[in-house]
Chain A
């Protein structure tokens, strides 16, 4: 009796399943049904969500992404767009500076040196600057290797030697991000106050710093050009650090799309920063007479200070984080 009941129930259940299936008899299949008619198609999912995700037995959120066609867009960015962006920015800046140097020559000091040297940057400021500078140069060279290495160095070195170099470049790139982070943070704190915009900046920018007119627009401790470098390093460096940390720790909650975005940002801002720092290095060395003294020995000639940073000397008594060096009563001439 019991088994008969069970058979009945089973038959009823089977009937319940097969009847609606038989109803859609228009499908040309032997059973006359399509058990997956309700299933989404690959095309539908890709059109709606842009990627195919699901659930998997492997406990790793990255493993449940079945398809992410955005990989092809990343490929196009990395292999076609990025080398052009990088090439135009870095080579373009080098060419522009060469042309400027050949046409204008270095910015010289017209006044005779005063023979009196005043402090421009403290030891702490110079240490921070050079730590950041050294880190940036290592990061820039090893970073450019990711994009241009295989195009320029690989044919010269051969695959094995280039791979050894690139392995080291990767270690260095990952390691030097930390002193760069420290340097940018300390510099941002040390120099924030002197880099706030003031009323002289517009005039300085309008005259393009006197690069062409050979006149020196007035400036406090930092002129508008230096302020632009400061803010580029603070903001651009900050963006590079944040995106770099995302790439350094592929945090499991971030999906591949976020890592791609971090890569786009990191690569483009890296190229922009390299171009800006090339200009910064130019003006700090061969581009301007007496400029490198400030950051190397920390001291500049009083005449240089008066020419380039008149208000810093006259109004602020050549103040550094150690305090003013000149009494306000000291006459300008």
Chain B
């Protein structure tokens, strides 16, 4: 069974991140890293592939510089790397992104199925820069008609036996509580950054990565029409993006701190805003 890990090139969270006037993240190649969350997703994918006796295919979507993140996956033991790279994909909203990623999963599944090596599991990081944490992985699952197990803090994959299908069990934390959920494979899992630490590359995997080719796929290769993805297919568009004005320098207090806080809150009318 194949395991797919979805990776996203992001700027380092401590670097100076900027949005372009069109609201897209300005991707500075020098600052781009595999995020901690995607590292965790990659490790989960590698372990799942071991458990299932399969291999990992790393998939990313983005500009030319995004190739670096799937290269990194090859260095730690992913068998294949796929880069969805096409001007027609640029500016995709979450729906378009999910559509393109799901189409790639379907393509890899169909290719693998011919040799009895269909996709069993898709792993993604829960990118949490805003409320979209679970949206893209869950949308990918919805497109595929597969179950989505989001926000995993632990992931356990068991291979199928004669009488039972391969399964995944996830423990996760939501507002409701600490939940354990399960599903038969194939399924989509999104993980927290604490779920696992990425292994260090071995000499062997580094060597293999150097020889490996990154497969580039365009929208047409995925069977996607122009209106389904990219800016042309985006339902949600950014209208304006501007840095917020710098906060004025803080008022610094070094004595009688409690009284200073309460006076400050009273001044700003903040003593009564709570419930």
Do chains A and B stick together as partners? no
Q: B residues bordering A, Cβ < 8 Å? A: none
Q: A residues bordering B, Cβ < 8 Å? A: none
